[in-house]
Chain A
Amino acid sequence: MALLEIENLVVEFQTATGPFRAVDGVSLKVDEGEVLAIVGESGSGKSVSMLAAMGLLPWTATVTADKLTFNGRDLLKMSSADRRKIIGKDIAMIFQEPIASLNPCFTVGFQIEEVLRIHMGLDRAARRKRAIELFEAVGIPDPTERLSHFPHQMSGGQCQRVMIAIALACNPKLLIADEPTTALDVTIQKQILDLLMKLQQEYRMGLIMITHNMGVVAETADRVIVQYKGRKIEEADVLSLFESPKSNYTRALLAALPENATGDRLPTISELFKDQQMLEGAAR
């Protein structure tokens, strides 16, 4: 059975220039222990669709879907209090800016223990012990010492590790990673991706990897969804996507990678490619 199932998700924002459709009929499924990558450029609605599924969008957004279930439970019909119990516990999320995602006023130890207190109801000593365990699991050296540090005393990579530890605190069934390595250096990116993959295997989590980086997709995903302007263009397993992309858009995207350049010039997604052509061969 699918862990998270979304059918025909539509998200609209009210703006000064009238309603704007950020996500237009996206459907997706993630199974237990599966890594799904959602790839797209800015404005493709890749982050918005996940935020919508978690109910984290501001009031200006209208979210509709034919189906939105997590682990067999209907998220649409749930009260927001029930929803909050699931989010943060069974579904966890990590974001692009690790330093900004942590509250600068509290130590990282306090922040991770807060999650453990609210969702797991552990007592003080057990919280402490679990926090140290988690820090060890995400590879933070000297965890006991580090618990009393503030976010600004740590590097971006370390903060992202803390975020991952917090996300893992309640043994989530699904982890949503929204551009988790975009703000990080390449060598740190490598470490974080390796860590995420290792933990995903260990905990048998579902993992949704939102990214714009084809390299990250290639290194992590089992299955890939390509989005463009709020629509799903293509869905395929990772190997066939890179070997034989079905849609023009995916083909153009792969061709634009500098490492795939053959001649002097990079092929670009030119103006000739009108949206209609982009959508050709879309798996809708």
Chain B
Amino acid sequence: MTHVLEARNLVRDYHIPGNLFRKARTVHALKGVSFTVDEGKTLAIVGESGCGKSTLGRIITLIDPATAGELLIDGRKVDIAREGLTPEMRRKVQIVFQNPYGSLNPRQKIGDILAEPLVINTKIPASERRDRAMTMLKKVGLEEKHYNRYPHMFSGGQRQRIAIARALMLNPKLLVLDEPVSALDLSVQAQVLNLLADLQDEFKLTYVFISHDLSVVRYIADDVMVMYYGEAVEYGSRDEVFSNPQHSYTKTLFAATPRADVASIKARLARKNAA
């Protein structure tokens, strides 16, 4: 069986040109990252700001090219820097961004936002486009009456649903989720995570879930990759990584995550009283 997504030794360098005061230098945002994701599975990429996880997300989504290394989607090698991108490949990978307030065009109605991928990529007549957009709108938990509204009339959670619906309009195989719930309230976060789980089952979607929130990752991921300064310091199944972290950074990360259970509150209060 071929993997839906396979990365072999991906490297991404940013070249910062020098000027009078500064020498030119190269920033290594990704230093050789390899992984595979199978159909219907979720790979979570965890790390703090500046670890290269968003850079990786953009490479997987075929927005930016990698400097070196190979990227295989559905078993086929993709190299957008040299060969460009076929519409067929374009349709296979879609993305949902972190900030629901910036990812929807404020001048477009919801219906147009959803239909746009179809307008660009297919020759489907307008009436069918409308039907498909309507169906997708309902699938993500919104209603028909929302079709003609503008993004500013929706809350953050609803906008994120719309962004998910737009990403699914082209029936992609792979969905890159770049911190899709970190800008949302707790209760809304739960709804969106449930929605993502439902959609994964229904469409056999493969997720690459980029996040800094370990509790969310633990809930949604099958495999986990921890990144630190452009390197994958830990990569394995969820249970392996969470029960037996190998790298010291992973351990630091776990230790730093605040715990909201009764036992740790009791422990803290006891410590405080003792002091």
Contacts and interface: CB of A to CB of B under 8 A. Distances in A.
Interface of A: 41-42, 185-190, 193, 201, 212-219, 238-239, 242-243, 252-254, 256-261, 264-269
B185 A266 contact: no
Nearest to B186: A256
5 tightest CB-CB pairs across the interface, nearest first?
A215-B258, A190-B256, A185-B48, A41-B185, A258-B219
A198 B218 CA distance: 30
Nearest to B217: A258
B145 interface: no
B186 A243 contact: no
B255 A185 contact: no
Contact of A215 (B48, B189, B255, B259): B259
B187 A253 contact: yes
B259 A41 contact: no
Contacts of A216: 258
B126 to A, nearest CB: 32
Contact of B264 (A218, A243, A256): A218
B260 interface: yes
Interface stretch (B35-43, B55-63, B190-198): B190-198
B241 to A, nearest CB: 15
A189 B258 contact: yes
Interface stretch (B10-18, B20-28, B70-78, B208-216): B208-216
Contact of A266 (B193, B214, B253, B259): B193
B160 to A, nearest CB: 14
A253 B189 CA distance: 11
B191 A268 contact: yes
B262 A252 contact: no
Contacts of A261: 219
Contacts, number: 106
B261 interface: yes
A185 B194 contact: no
B265 A238 contact: yes
A55 B220 CA distance: 43
Given A190-B258, A242-B260, A264-B197, 8 more contacts: A41-B186, A42-B156, A186-B48, A187-B253, A193-B258, A218-B264, A239-B262, A258-B220
Contacts of A264: 197
Contacts of B186: 41, 212, 214, 253, 256-257
29 contacts: A186-B212, A186-B214, A187-B256, A190-B255, A212-B185, A212-B186, A213-B258, A214-B186, A215-B258, A215-B259, A217-B260, A218-B259, A218-B260, A218-B261, A219-B258, A242-B265, A243-B262, A256-B186, A256-B189, A256-B190, A258-B215, A258-B220, A259-B215, A259-B259, A261-B219, A264-B197, A266-B194, A267-B190, A269-B190
A264 B201 CA distance: 12
Given A42-B185, A256-B186, A265-B197, A189 B256 contact: yes
A253 B260 CA distance: 12
Nearest to B193: A266
A279 B5 CA distance: 47
Contacts of A243: 262
A260 B261 CA distance: 8
A266 B190 contact: yes
B49 interface: yes
Nearest to A258: B219
B252 interface: yes
B135 to A, nearest CB: 21
A167 B211 CA distance: 32
B221 to A, nearest CB: 11
A278 to B, nearest CB: 11
Contact of A187 (B185, B220, B252): B252
A219 B156 CA distance: 27
Contacts of A267: 190
Contact of A242 (B185, B188, B253, B262): B262
B268 interface: yes
A268 B194 contact: yes
